[in-house]
Amino acid sequence: MRDILVMIEDEEIKTLCREHTLLSDQDIEKIIEVSRTMQLHADLSKANVFIDCAHAKENHAVVVAEASPRTAPSIYEKRVVGNMAYQTFEPAVIYCLKTGNTMTSNRAITQEQKKVEQSVVPIRNEKETVIGVLIMEKDISDRENVQQELEALSRTTEKLSGLLLGDEENYPLVPDLMEEALFFLGKEGEITYSNPAAVNLVHELTGEHCEYGARLVGYLPEIESIVNADEELLVKELETKGKIFKAKKIRLPHQQKYNGMFLILRDLTDLREKEKELVIQSVAIQEIHHRVKNNLQTVASLLRLQMRRGIPEESKVHFVESLNRILSIASVYEVILSNSSIDEVDIYDLSKRIGEMLVYTSGHKVNISYEGDSMTVESGQAVSVALIINELVQNCLNYAFEGRNHGKISISFEQNGHEREVVVQDNGIGYKETDKPSLGLEIVRRMAEHDLSGSFTIKGDQEGTRARLSFPGERGET
C-alpha cells in the first residue's frame, strides 16, 4: 500500500512539473528524491513541509509536494499541492528561487490567511542550479496575538501613567477624586507623586509632611516587603500604626525597562471592625438558637415525664400532639445550628427530620418519601413550615390509614420563581370535605394564610389525600 501511495505522489510531481515548470526529467527526478524525505522532516520539526518550483511563465511558484506532521496539528485544512505561491504572500520563496540564498525565520501569510514562520532552503541539481525550494512552516498566529496584546498593554500602561501623573504644569485631576491613597514611586522607591489622600494619610499616621523625593518606607516601614517584592502586580493586607490597609502595587514597564510603580493604600480599618462585630453578633445569635432548642427540649422532657407518671387516657392524644409540635419547632433550631447560615433553613432537610420522627413514634408501618430539590427559607418562616408539616403528617398517621397500620406518605417540594410549594400526599382512605375540621388542619390553615401569607388546600379521593401549601419565599413577597 505504501509503495502505491509513493508511486501516485511521484506521478503527481512529474505531472505538475511538466505542466507548470521548465525542469528537465533529470531535475524532476531530483525533486522526487527530495520529496521522499519530507515526511521525516515534517514529523521531526512538527511543521508543514513543501516543495515549490518556479513557474515557467509567471513570477511565482507552484507547490508540487507537501507533508503534514503526524506529531502536531497541521496548519492547513486542505491540500495545497498544485496551488500557486505568490510573491506578495511568500516573498522568501521567490527570493530563494531567484538567488539560491537560504531564508530562515521569515514571516509569511498562507493561502488560508494564517501567519507562519517560514524557513526556505534551495534544492540544487548536479550543476548547482536552483531547481526548487524546500519550505518548512510553523503556525505563529497565537504567538503574534500574544505579542500584540503585550504591546497594547504596554501602550495602555504608559497612557494610564500619563493620565494619572500628568506633568508639572498640569495638575492631575483623576487621583484627586480618589478616596484611596495613591503614591507613584521611582526606581529607588522615592516618592515622585502623591495624591491629597496620600498626603493626608502620611500626616495622620506619622505627623510628618509627605516630601517629594523621600523614600516612602521611611514614613511607612511596614510596606518595604511590598515595595521590594518582584511581582509585577501584588495585593496584600498590612497593619501599621493601629490601622489595617489593603495595599496594591503595580510595577510600570516603559520600553522594556522598569519605570517605577503605583502603590495604592485603602483603609480597611472600619470594615474589619464591622466584620468583627458581625462575627460577635453571629455567635450571639447562634447561642440564642442553642438555648431556645434546649428550652424546647426541656419542655418536651417535662411532658414525657408527666405522661409516664400517668394521665387520663382521653388526654393522652393531646399530650402526644403537643409534644410533637414542640419537637418540630426544636427541629428548626437543630437545622439552623447544623448549617453555616444563621438565618436560613433547608425545609427539605427539616421535613425529613419531622416526618421520620413522627413515623417512628407512631408505631405504624408507614413508608414516608421525599421528592424535589432543597428549598431554603428564613428562620421565621421555617417555624411555621415545621408546624404545618408536623400537623399534616400527624393527620395522615391519625386518620388516613383507618383499619390498617401500613401505608405511604410522600412530601414533595417545588419552587417556581419566588413561589414555594409543599405537597403532602397519602394513599389512605381520602379526606372528605364533610368531615369535621380537626384542630391540626385549623392550625395549618391559619399559619399558611397569616404567618406565611400563602394558601392551603386539601382534597381527597379514592386514591388518598393531597394537601398543598403554597407561599412566597419571603414575608411580604407577592
Question: CA 390 to CA 382: how far, in whole Å?
Answer: 12
Q: Using alpha carbons only, what angle is made at residue 70 by residues 65 and 72, rounded to the nearest 5 degrees?
A: 110
State the pLDDT at residue 171.
45
C-alpha cell at 406: 401500613
Strands 406-416 and 233-240: unpaired
C-alpha cell at 29: 527526478
**Rg, C-alpha atoms of the chain:** 41
Mean pLDDT over the full length of the chain: 79
**Residue ranges in the chain whose pLDDT is less than 70:** 1-2, 105, 108-113, 141-177, 253-259, 278-296, 302-303, 316-317, 332-343, 435-437, 474-478
Domains of the chain: 2-139 (3.30.450.280), 147-267 (3.30.450.20), 272-472 (3.30.565.10)
What 8-state DSSP symbol labels residue 284? H
The SS3 assignment for 170 reads: coil
Question: CA 248 to CA 263: how far, in whole Å?
Answer: 6
C-alpha cell at 7: 508511486
State the pLDDT at residue 476.
45
Tell me the torsion sign for CA atoms 26, 27, 32, 37: positive
pTM: 0.41
Nearest Cα residue to 205 out of 244, 176, 175, 235:
244
State the pLDDT at residue 172.
47
Residues 6+ away with beta carbon under 8 Å from 261: 184, 185, 227, 249, 250, 251, 252
State the pLDDT at residue 357.
81
